[in-house]
Amino acid sequence: MWGGVRFDTGDQVVDECAYTIRAAQATARSAEHLVRVLVELVLTRTAGWSQRDVAVLVNLSHQWLSQTRRPAGPTRSLKDQSE
């Protein structure tokens, strides 16, 4: 039984596989949500760190982090800081 629907294809192996697939998909969605929440927390606490350093820390690509990171307002480059 899954979401109110009982599968009965006549093949118990197929029915069990379908159930297991759906359960695994739900677990994966939950895990992905947890990853996003935790990454947001890490990004908040590592403001000012190199994006590549944070990416290594959380085992994600820096490109993915740049798409995830919310703009925190105007930033200054190292060149601007030396002036």
Domain coverage including residue 35? 12-69
User: Is 80 inside a domain boundary?
Assistant: no
- Predicted confidence (pLDDT) per residue in 6-25, tens digit: 789 999 999 999 999 999 99
pLDDT of 81: 53
3-state secondary structure 37-80: HHHHHHHHHCCCCCHHHHHHHHCCCHHHHHHHCCCCCCCCCHHH
Task: Return the percentage of the chain with pLDDT > 70, whole number.
Answer: 77
Which pLDDT band holds residue 62 (cuts at 50, 70, 90)?
Answer: confident
pTM: 0.63
- State the total domains in the chain: 1
User: Is 35 inside a domain boundary?
Assistant: yes
- Cα separation, 69 vs 20, in Å, equals 34
User: Is 4 inside a domain boundary?
Assistant: no
User: Is 6 inside a domain boundary?
Assistant: no
pLDDT of 3: 59
Higher pLDDT, 66 or 22: 22
- 12 φ, ψ (degrees, to nearest 5): -60, -35
User: Is 1 inside a domain boundary?
Assistant: no
**Amino acid identity for residue 41 in this structure:** L
User: Is 3 inside a domain boundary?
Assistant: no
